[in-house]
């Protein structure tokens, strides 16, 4: 087992109190697995992605553990976490378009980054990986501003995976791209996994349709908790959680992505995470909610590898 997350709780500190963005999340990932992480904006999926590599200043690790390849990640300790970053856990950020220092030639930046991590640049390896994503070797001698959006995206993918991390977090990497480029990026990510550059990958997105093409497993989050986790085909063909069903229904058609707005298809809005209600958090919007939903539903494995947190599933 490559990644094991146990009852992870990460809160945001705000004036009004703690926002419980991750409230007891447990799951595991196999070696070589690509996990699609989906849900509305604000459901905690980005928080989960950040928690695994670098929390921002307002995030607090409240409880729970993360184990990667049998070693516990010190996710609450920014300094100790540094040893794991890049080498064990790496990130393709949402902001790939602006992730590279604008005033350094890309090649020089990569060399300086690697040296600062005590690694030396294997130029042949780097160039072969550039070829893999169809980037000319000359990009190393350019400034980021001279690259197109798609090129920058691929360049960042290559940089992030240079040290062959065990876990790669791809955070909304496709949201800034057009449909055909999205597909190319998704293919490249699978290629990276198949080539062994990364062992496993978490693909954070709000685009359920795209996720189903690239992920082996899909995990749906709602209001800081897991709703459902199952193999990609099972989620798409036989969703069990009412939220997953509504999410799929609200897709106009496969391949067209909806924007990061509130889902038109689901009435109401997610509960405030400042003081979330007891019981199932989807209860207020759920078409089939009943008495028992006042109790929090446990995560149950209703079929092999198909987990659902719903009394009615």
Partner 1 sequence: MRRYFGRKLLVYGLTFFVAVTVNWMIPRFMPGDPVSSMVARTGASNPAAAETMRVYYTNLFGFDQPLWKQYVNFWAALFQGDFGISIWVFPTPVSEVILGAVPYTLGLMIPSVLLSWVVGNWFGAYAARRKVLDNTLLPVGYVLTAMPYMWLAVLLAWGLGVVAGWFPVAGGYSFSMQPSWSWDFILDLLHHWVLPFSSLFLVALGGWAIGMRNMIIYELESDYSNYLAALGAPQRLIRRYAFRNAVLPQITGLALQLGVLVAGALVTEIVFSYPGLGSLILKAIQNQDFFLLQGAFLFIVLGVLIANFIIDIVYVVVDPRTRAGMAGAAA
Partner 2 sequence: MTALQEVPAQDAAAPAGVRREALYFALRNGKLLTGFGIVLALLLLGLLGPLFLSGTGSEYGTQPMQPPSAEHWFGTTTFGQDVFTQFVYGLRTTFVVGALGGGIAAVIAMLVGFVAGYRGGLVDEILNMFTNIVLVIPTLAVLLIINAYLGVRSVGAQALFIGLTSWPWAARAIRAQTFSLRTRDFVDLARLSGANTWKVITREIAPNMSSYLFMTFILLFGGSVLIASSLDFIGLGPTEGTSLGLMLQNANQWSAMQLGMWWWFIPPGAGITAIVGSLYVANVGLDEVFNPKLRET
Query: Whole-number minimum distance, CB 55 to partner 2, in Å?
Result: 13
Q: What is the crossing angle of helices 123-132 and 149-160, to 10°?
A: 130
Min separation Cβ 252 and partner 1, Å: 31
Q: Which is nearer to partner 1, 91 or 198 (CB)?
A: 91
Q: Hey, how many other C-beta atoms are within 10 angstroms of the C-beta on 279?
A: 15
Q: Which of residues 44-83 bind partner 1 (CB under 8 A)?
A: 53-54, 81-83
What b/e string do you get for 95-115 counting C-beta neighbours within 10 Å, with b at 16 or more? ebbebbeeeebbbebbbebbe
Q: Which is nearer to partner 1, 189 or 226 (CB)?
A: 189
CA distance 263 to 269: 9
Distance in Å, CB of 109 to partner 1, minimum: 8
* Binding at 15: pick from partner 1, partner 2, none (beta carbon under 5-8 Å per type): partner 2
Among 17, 60, 77, 98, binds partner 1 (CB under 8 A): 98
What does 278 interact with, of partner 2, partner 1, none (CB < 5 to 8 A by kind)?
none
Interacting span for partner 1 (CB under 8 A) from 20-28, 89-97, 177-185, 227-235? 89-97
* Residue 13 site contact among partner 1, partner 2, none (CB < 5 to 8 Å, cut-off depends on kind): partner 2
Q: Binding to partner 1 (CB under 8 A): which residues in 116-175?
A: 116-117, 142-143, 145-146, 156, 159-160
Where do contacts with partner 2 occur on this chain (CB under 8 A)? 13, 15, 57-58
Cβ pair 195, 204 in contact under 8 A? no
Cβ nearer to partner 2, comparing 13 with 108? 13
Tell me how crowded residue 198 is: count the other CB atoms within 10 A of its CB. 22
Contact of residue 53 among partner 2, partner 1, none (CB under 5-8 Å per partner type) = partner 1
For residues 280 and 298, give the distance between their C-alpha atoms in angstroms, rounded to a whole number. 9
- Count Cβ atoms below 10 Å from residue 215 Cβ, excluding itself: 26
Judged by beta carbon, residue 112 or residue 122, the one nearer partner 1 is 112
CA gap 154, 134 in Å, rounded: 9
111 conformational bin, left if phi > 0, alpha if psi -120 to 50, beta if neither:
alpha
Distance between CA 224 and CA 48 in Å, rounded?
9
**84/243 with CB nearer partner 1:** 84
Q: Which of 8, 100, 157, 214 binds partner 1 (CB under 8 A)?
A: 100
Alpha-helix residue ranges (DSSP H) falling in 78-140: 78-81, 106-116, 123-132
Q: Which has the closest alpha carbon to 43: 57, 22, 26?
A: 22
Task: Tell me: does residue 7 bind partner 1 (CB under 8 A).
Answer: no
Binding site for partner 1 (CB under 8 A): 53-54, 81-87, 90-91, 93, 95, 98-105, 112-113, 116-117, 142-143, 145-146, 156, 159-160
């Amino acid at each position: 087992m490559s990644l094991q997350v146990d009852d992870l709780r990460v809160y945001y500190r705000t004036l009004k109190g703690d926002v419980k963005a991750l409230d007891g999340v447990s799951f595991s990932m196999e070696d070589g697995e690509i996990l699609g992480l989906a849900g509305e904006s604000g459901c905690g999926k980005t928080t989960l992605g950040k928690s695994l590599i670098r929390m921002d200043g307002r995030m607090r690790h409240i409880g729970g553990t993360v184990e990667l390849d049998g070693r516990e990640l010190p996710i609450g300790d920014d300094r100790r976490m540094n040893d794991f970053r890049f080498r064990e856990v790496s990130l393709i950020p949402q902001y790939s378009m602006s992730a590279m220092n604008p005033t350094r030639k890309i090649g020089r930046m990569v060399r300086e980054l690697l040296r600062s991590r005590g690694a030396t640049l294997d130029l042949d390896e780097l160039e072969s990986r550039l070829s893999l994503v169809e980037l000319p070797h000359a990009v190393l001698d350019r400034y980021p501003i001279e690259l197109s959006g798609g090129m920058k995206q691929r360049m960042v993918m290559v940089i992030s995976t240079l040290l062959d991390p065990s876990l790669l977090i791809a955070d909304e990497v496709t949201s800034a791209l057009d449909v055909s480029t999205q597909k190319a990026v998704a293919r490249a990510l699978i290629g990276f996994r198949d080539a062994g550059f990364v062992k496993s990958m978490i693909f954070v997105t709000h685009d359920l349709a795209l996720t189903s093409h690239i992920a082996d497993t899909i995990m749906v989050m709602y209001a800081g908790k897991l709703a459902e986790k199952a193999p990609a085909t099972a989620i798409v063909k036989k969703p069990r959680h009412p939220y997953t069903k509504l999410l799929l229904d609200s897709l106009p058609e496969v391949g067209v992505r909806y924007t990061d707005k509130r889902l038109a298809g689901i009435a109401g809005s997610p509960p405030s995470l400042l003081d979330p209600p007891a019981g199932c958090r989807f209860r207020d919007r759920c078409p089939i909610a009943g008495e028992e939903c006042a109790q929090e539903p446990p995560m149950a494995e209703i079929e092999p590898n198909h987990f659902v947190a719903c009394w009615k599933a």
